[in-house]
Amino acid sequence: MRLASLLLILAASSCASSVGPRSIPERPSCGEVIAISGHGRVLSQDFSQLPAAVNAALVIDRYYALAAQRLGHTRDEDVEIWLVPAWPVLASTFENCIVFDPSPEAMPHADWILTHEFVHWHASGTVVQRNLPPTIVEGLCDRIAADLTQSLREHLRDTQSRLLAEARERGELSHVISHLDLDSRDLAWLSHSETHDMHALAIALVDRIGVDALLEAAEQGPVSSETILDMADVSADGEGL
């Protein structure tokens, strides 16, 4: 089961992969729209995916507007979700769509996964995306999705605590923290284990600082990794975590 990946390497197009950044899949060419919601539609090349598409449409109806409201930014255009089985990660947000792998591992947690991506979708082109470090944006999406859907909250906290403790035991916590300076493209080339640790760090920092404080800081201008650590009262070697 890919639950650790579900929680800690879900992301937008900058999500980590052992083969580097992914390209957008080919758009379905016929009969593509198989479910419609009030804020978007779901596309697939395979009508056997109809149950997954209907579920995704229901998630759009329930959480799409809530994600925008919590973020404080709303994207004008409706969202398209493309169902792509065996996608390298369970979901990715691109400029014109969200790609979602309707796998058996993902479907029980589709509300959390897609709400995470809705936050990315609404943040696109905003001060949140421009002014916060990419890793912190991931933690922000994780936290907002968990709070809105009320799912996986305990697992999220337990997983990030365990991963950071293991990084500390290996003497690698300061190295993980140094990755806060990486941009989206560099983050995409981290190994899966490094990405797990980075997302664990991001969730921990977001929880220490608070969603509202981060959003307010983003409105004021670019926020450096040093400022993030200061806001969280965490040192470069991890003291305070």
Give CA–CA dist 68/70, Å, rounded.
6
DSSP string, 60-115: HHHHHHHHHHHHT---SSPEEEEE-TT-SSSEEE-SS-EEE---TTTGGGHHHHHH
C-beta separation of 136 from 127 below 8 A: no
Residue where the block lists tokens 């806001």: 231
Domain boundaries, the chain: 8-14+27-123, 131-232
Residue where the block lists tokens 């290996």: 170
- CATH class of domain segment(s) 8-14+27-123: alpha beta
DSSP 8-class letter at 34: E
pLDDT in tens, 24-54: 666 655 447 888 999 999 999 888 999 999 9
Q: Name which residue leads in pLDDT, 8 or 211.
A: 211
Query: What is the pairing mode between strands 79-83 and 91-93?
Result: unpaired
Please state the length of the chain. Answer: 241
Q: If you average pLDDT over each of 87-101, 178-192, 212-226, which comes out highest? A: 212-226
Give CA–CA dist 164/204, Å, rounded.
9
* H-type alpha helices, the chain: 3-8, 50-71, 110-123, 127-131, 134-149, 153-169, 173-178, 184-187, 192-209, 211-220, 225-232
Q: Is 233 exposed, middle or buried (0-12, 13-18, 19+ CB in 10 A)?
A: exposed
pLDDT in tens, 138-179: 999 999 999 999 877 777 788 888 989 999 999 999 999 998
Structure confidence at residue 63 as a pLDDT band (50, 70, 90): very high
The dihedral formed by the CA atoms of 28, 29, 30 and 32, expressed in degrees to the nearest 10: 30
Global confidence as pTM:
0.88
Q: Which residue type sits at 177?
A: I
